[in-house]
């Protein structure tokens, strides 16, 4: 392969997903000549708005953007770059087999009042539970803001981090502080059962602790996952629901505009095929086209396995680290099914035609009927099966943003939780993919009878499709399982949690790095601080 050195930059960002764009924007903002390279034709990665065959538009994978770190939005002035957010008053709507539903609202008092219908105790417990989750999440947010400490030879920066974390810890009330260390490793099932009696309420809250993971509600550490989901945003106990007007892709567009505004260059259709090195230092990247681009800094928004195993020359990584990276767990366990709908489907549990839309604007949970029901759905997936009790989280973004369905009707985007990456005894061929789509429709019919007849278009993406489309190794939306052994100083690997990869000049800026996955921009924002610290030292 002939290589052509086409240009040189201060920093190259590999991957134009939302974290890559955040990194590109911050690097350019700091004055570095920055180039963002994206393999696909569109920016944003999983945070995109993609067309359905009927002309309507739907989310790529993540339907909402409410976890975006407020400082990212503020510092990059995303509103000026066209980002408009819509936050409905409802967060969660979980219809139940008996025709009733659990509804969680942004307003804790309103939620508490409704939960009394399920159990007087649950209604009474809600406000305190919400406060408790918010308090603990605040500490987790402090952890999320910090670069994890070095595992050997602590520096002054580590001492300061320790001090700040200590201060954040002290801000917790004595009771909350004592609770924090107790609850972080807990299974979410146990955590919610401490506050709530009724299974539907427990399930509706617990759902968010396992979304996008290969963890069940009885898995250890899922309480930490729930707290992380609410950390740094207004999620609280029910979790955030914030839509970007124009779909999630509008966030990517705003980030790209911000990055370009700071002077970053962004190229699509440019796949990074390798990171070039000389004597343990990054020298640039090679593209799939054969082009070589020089830069002393390469920030990878790709997942750690792809970054380290596929892009680096094998001897740079070395066999021991290669073995450790090979063991990083990325078990994709979700599928995403988008529907174009001729009309708003009727959810009997949501009330009449006036009331229903108000309850359907948040996350609609199907199958969140009890902790054991959810665990059974998880169990099946462990062995490569899709449970009959498949869990769904559906959103109908057109209820707040009709622009996604220019000719009317609605769009529904469904995350099917606990769909295995490797189905037992088979693979995700076209027939299996469509059969999964049919099962999702059937499952939706159980809470929205007649929805199947409204479907005008459908796009099913299995975990394998998510891997192929978005480059997610193993199909995992978070690049690495958000388990306790892959958290903070252990993410992506202990000894490599400070965004610097083992080759000087190579950084991880995606969710494989602390603080992990979701539409936050946080790993990239954190990483750029470290990149710039090194950059200043070098000069």
Contacting residues toward another protein, per CB under 8 A? 279-280, 309, 313-315, 318-320, 322-323
Question: Could you give the angle at which helices 174-183 and 120-145 cross, rounded to 10 degrees?
Answer: 80
Q: Do 361 and 90 form a contact (C-beta atoms < 8 A)?
A: yes
Nearer to another protein, 70 or 323 (CB): 323
- Least separation in angstroms between CB 1 and another protein: 16
- Least separation in angstroms between CB 466 and another protein: 24
Nearer to another protein, 419 or 503 (CB): 503
Report the distance separating Cα 193 and Cα 75, nearest Å: 40
Report the distance separating Cα 116 and Cα 287, nearest Å: 59
* Token reading at 301: 């928004």
- Least separation in angstroms between CB 268 and another protein: 28
Nearer to another protein, 2 or 320 (CB): 320
* Token reading at 217: 């509600």
* 3 state DSSP class of 261: helix
Nearer to another protein, 168 or 309 (CB): 309
In SS3 terms, 55-122 reads as CCEEECCCCCCCCCCHHHHHHCCCCCCCCCEECCCEEEEEECCCCCEEEEECCHHHHHHHHCCCCHHH
CA distances from 422 to 331, 334, 358, 426 (A): 9, 11, 38, 8
User: How many C-beta atoms lie closer than 10 Å to residue 401's C-beta?
Assistant: 20
* Token reading at 304: 């750690």
DSSP state at residue 31: T
Give the start-end residues of each E strand in 186-278.
243-244, 265-267, 272-278
Nearer to another protein, 474 or 521 (CB): 474
Nearer to another protein, 171 or 323 (CB): 323
Q: Do 316 and 432 form a contact (C-beta atoms < 8 A)?
A: no
Nearer to another protein, 276 or 395 (CB): 276
Nearer to another protein, 195 or 276 (CB): 276
The closest alpha carbon to 486, from 282, 377, 315, 325, belongs to 325
Long-range contacts of 400-405 (CB under 8 A, 24+ apart): 400/86, 400/88, 400/243, 400/361, 401/86, 401/243, 401/245, 401/246, 401/247, 403/245, 403/246, 404/49, 404/56, 404/57, 404/58, 404/246, 404/247, 405/56, 405/57, 405/340
Q: Is 119 exposed, middle or buried (0-12, 13-18, 19+ CB in 10 A)?
A: middle
Q: Strand 90-95 relative to strand 363-366: parallel, antiparallel, unpaired?
A: parallel
- Least separation in angstroms between CB 325 and another protein: 10
- Least separation in angstroms between CB 311 and another protein: 12
Nearer to another protein, 152 or 320 (CB): 320
- Least separation in angstroms between CB 154 and another protein: 22
- Least separation in angstroms between CB 328 and another protein: 14
Q: Which helix (H) or strand (E) segment is 461 a member of?
A: strand 455-461
- Least separation in angstroms between CB 315 and another protein: 5
Nearer to another protein, 220 or 309 (CB): 309
Nearer to another protein, 153 or 314 (CB): 314
Report the distance separating Cα 143 and Cα 238, nearest Å: 21
**Concatenated DSSP letters of 269-302:** S--EEEEEEETTEEEEEEETTSEEEE-SEEEE-S
- Least separation in angstroms between CB 507 and another protein: 20
Nearer to another protein, 172 or 273 (CB): 273
Long-range contacts of 103-106 (CB under 8 A, 24+ apart): 103/359, 104/204, 104/205, 104/237, 104/238, 104/362, 105/238, 106/234, 106/238, 106/241
- Least separation in angstroms between CB 330 and another protein: 17
- Least separation in angstroms between CB 424 and another protein: 27
DSSP state at residue 331: -
How far does CA 58 lie from the centroid of its chain? 17
User: How many C-beta atoms lie closer than 10 Å to residue 177's C-beta?
Assistant: 15
- Least separation in angstroms between CB 384 and another protein: 26
Nearer to another protein, 221 or 474 (CB): 474
- Least separation in angstroms between CB 323 and another protein: 6
């Amino acid at each position: 392969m002939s290589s052509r050195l086409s240009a040189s930059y201060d920093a190259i960002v590999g991957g134009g997903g939302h974290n890559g764009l955040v990194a590109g924007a911050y690097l350019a903002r700091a004055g570095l000549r920055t180039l963002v390279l994206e393999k696909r034709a569109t920016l944003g990665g999983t945070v995109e708005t993609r067309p359905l065959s009927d002309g309507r538009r739907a989310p790529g994978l993540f339907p909402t953007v409410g976890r975006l770190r407020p400082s990212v939005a503020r510092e990059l002035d995303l509103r000026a770059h066209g980002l408009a957010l819509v936050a409905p008053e409802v967060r969660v709507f979980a219809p139940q087999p008996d025709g009733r539903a659990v509804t969680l609202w942004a307003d804790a008092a309103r939620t508490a009042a409704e939960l009394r219908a399920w159990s007087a105790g649950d209604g009474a417990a809600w406000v305190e539970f919400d406060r408790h989750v918010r308090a603990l999440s605040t500490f987790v947010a402090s952890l999320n803001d910090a670069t994890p400490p070095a595992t050997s030879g602590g520096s002054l920066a580590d001492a300061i981090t320790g001090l700040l974390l200590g201060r954040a810890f002290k801000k917790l009330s004595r009771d909350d502080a004592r609770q924090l260390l107790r609850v972080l490793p807990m299974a979410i099932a146990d955590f919610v059962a401490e506050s709530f009696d009724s299974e539907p309420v427990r399930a509706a809250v617990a759902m968010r602790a396992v979304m996008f993971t290969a963890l069940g509600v009885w898995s250890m550490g899922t309480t930490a996952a729930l707290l992380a989901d609410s950390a740094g945003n207004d999620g609280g106990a029910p979790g955030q629901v914030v839509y970007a007007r124009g779909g999630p892709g509008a966030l990517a567009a705003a980030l790209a505009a911000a990055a370009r505004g700071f002077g970053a260059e962004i190229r699509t259709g440019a796949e990074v095929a390798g990171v070039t090195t000389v004597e343990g230092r990054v020298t640039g990247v090679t593209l799939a086209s054969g082009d070589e681009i020089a830069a002393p800094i390469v920030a990878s928004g790709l997942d750690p396995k792809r970054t380290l195993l596929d892009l680096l020359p094998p001897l740079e990584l070395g066999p021991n680290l290669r073995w450790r990276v090979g063991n990083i767990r990325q078990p994709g366990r979700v599928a995403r099914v988008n529907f174009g709908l001729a009309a708003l489907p009727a959810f009997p549990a949501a009330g009449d035609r006036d009331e229903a839309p108000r309850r359907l604007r948040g996350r609609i949970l199907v199958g969140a009927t009890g902790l054991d029901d959810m665990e059974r759905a998880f169990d099946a997936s462990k062995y490569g099966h899709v449970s009959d009790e498949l869990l769904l989280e559906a959103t109908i973004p057109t209820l707040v943003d009709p622009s996604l369905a220019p000719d009317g009707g609605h769009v529904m985007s469904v995350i099917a939780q606990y769909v295995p990456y490797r189905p037992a005894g088979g693979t995700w061929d076209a027939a299996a993919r469509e059969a999964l789509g049919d099962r999702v429709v059937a499952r939706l019919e159980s809470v929205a009878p007649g929805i199947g007849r409204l479907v005008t278009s459908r796009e099913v993406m299995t975990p394998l499709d998510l891997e192929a489309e978005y480059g997610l190794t193993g199909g995992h939306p978070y690049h690495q399982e958000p388990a306790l052994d892959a958290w903070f100083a252990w993410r992506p690997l202990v000894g490599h949690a400070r965004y610097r990869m083992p080759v000087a000049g190579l950084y991880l800026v995606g969710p494989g790095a602390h603080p992990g996955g979701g539409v936050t921009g946080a790993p990239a924002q954190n990483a750029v601080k470290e990149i710039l610290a090194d950059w200043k030292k070098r000069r």
